[in-house]
Amino acid sequence: MNRINPLHIALLMVALFGFVIYQHLLLQKKITQKEQRVLQLQEIGKEIATLKNYWGDKRLQKRRIEEIINTPFIKKFVANTKQNRDRYKVWLKNIDAKNADRIADKIFNSFVKIGSFSIQREGKDKISMEVEFRL
């Protein structure tokens, strides 16, 4: 008659217990990595939501554009403005070099979406600008 040695059963139980502990530790490590990834994605999501609110608000964009246009050193050069549903065009005429630099700095350093920006020479020392903002 064959009897199973209790020492073999104990050894099998210890090996099985070791395997279960090993698998548990691997699973813990994977869960920790996934939790860290979820936290990173949440931070990225918050940043995207903040940027979307900041850049996606058409009323805020329009207000920023109007603030730029109504700046005293820019307002005197505004020849015409045209607003569509999602575009705002501004034509600036008779601008000298010093003011052209200031105007370009003001436009490019503002938080507005610029669709197009063109400069044409009007005379020896004067230029005109056409700026298209996106809302």
Q: Decide if 97 contacts 126 (C-beta within 8 A).
A: no
22: which strand partners?
none
68 and 23 housed in the same domain: no
Over the stretch 4-24, which tens digit does the pLDDT of each residue have?
Answer: 888 888 999 999 999 999 999
Given 56, 82, 97, which residue is the final one in a domain? 56
Question: Are residues 63 and 52 both part of a single domain?
Answer: no
69 and 124, same domain (yes or no): yes
Residue 84 token pair: 């569509």
The verdict on 17 and 46 lying in the same domain is yes
Asked if 65 and 128 sit in the same domain, the reply is: yes
Domain extent, residue 39, equals: 1-56
| 60 Cβ neighbours under 8 A, 6+ residues apart | 54
pLDDT at 57 over 90: no
Query: Would you give the DSSP letter of residue 125?
Result: S
Q: Are residues 75 and 52 in the same domain?
A: no
Per-residue pLDDT reduced to its tens digit, 68-96 = 999 898 899 998 999 888 899 999 999 98
In a shared domain, residues 51 and 63: no
Q: How many domains does the chain have?
A: 2
pTM for the model stands at: 0.63
